[in-house]
Amino acid sequence: MRICGGSKKGMNLVSPKGMKTRPMIERIKLAMFNIIGYEIEDARILDCFSGSGALGLEALSRGAQQCYFVENGRHALPALKANIEKSQLQTCKLISKSAFFVAKALGEQKFDIIFMDPPYKYIDHPCERKKTLDFIADLLQSVGEQNSLLILHCRRHAMSGCPIPQSLEVESKREYGSAELWFLRKK
């Protein structure tokens, strides 16, 4: 794993130990940043379920203003901390808390782009999927700026037939092998 663009291009990232963290495939990450490229400059980023921090660090490397990393996985946290330190980027803040409970910890903080890369179990099971989508809608309403973008990474077809909360607008959906990216906007 590495940063693919910007000021830290080529920086290798520490991977979390174990099999609980599933990093986004580099090809998908590159495609995502090509799609949102013009929105990254000076953006305030919230990286939920950060894992290694690859998405937030990539955004900072490409000119984002700041990034809040939200992660509480005991295997992911050491890698995330090491990657933040290694990057020497000063505009990082780590919140060691479940993403599902982070809104209160963020207070009045607002974000332009939110990366949401939860463990597949939160999207694959219908009951968990509904809870996760409701959480996404609530989070975007509470900490998203007007017209904020939220990008959800999930298993391909995991969201098929699932009603999207009315407070969210599906801007686009892209499929990449066994995964998909959903680009959701705050209405």
Q: Are 113 and 40 in contact (CB under 8 A)?
A: yes
pLDDT of amino acid 58: 97
pLDDT digits (tens, 9 = 90+) for 64-113: 999 999 999 988 999 999 999 999 998 999 999 999 999 888 988 999 99
The domains located in the chain, with CATH, are: 6-17+25-186 (3.40.50.150)
pLDDT of amino acid 127: 82
Where does the pLDDT of residue 120 fall: very low under 50, low under 70, confident under 90, or very high at 90 and above?
A: confident
pTM score = 0.94
Residues for the chain: how many in total? 187
As a whole number of angstroms, the distance between CA 184 and CA 173 comes to 9
As a whole number of angstroms, the distance between CA 34 and CA 80 comes to 24
147-170: average pLDDT: 89
**36-50, 79-93, 111-125, 157-171: lowest mean pLDDT where?**
157-171
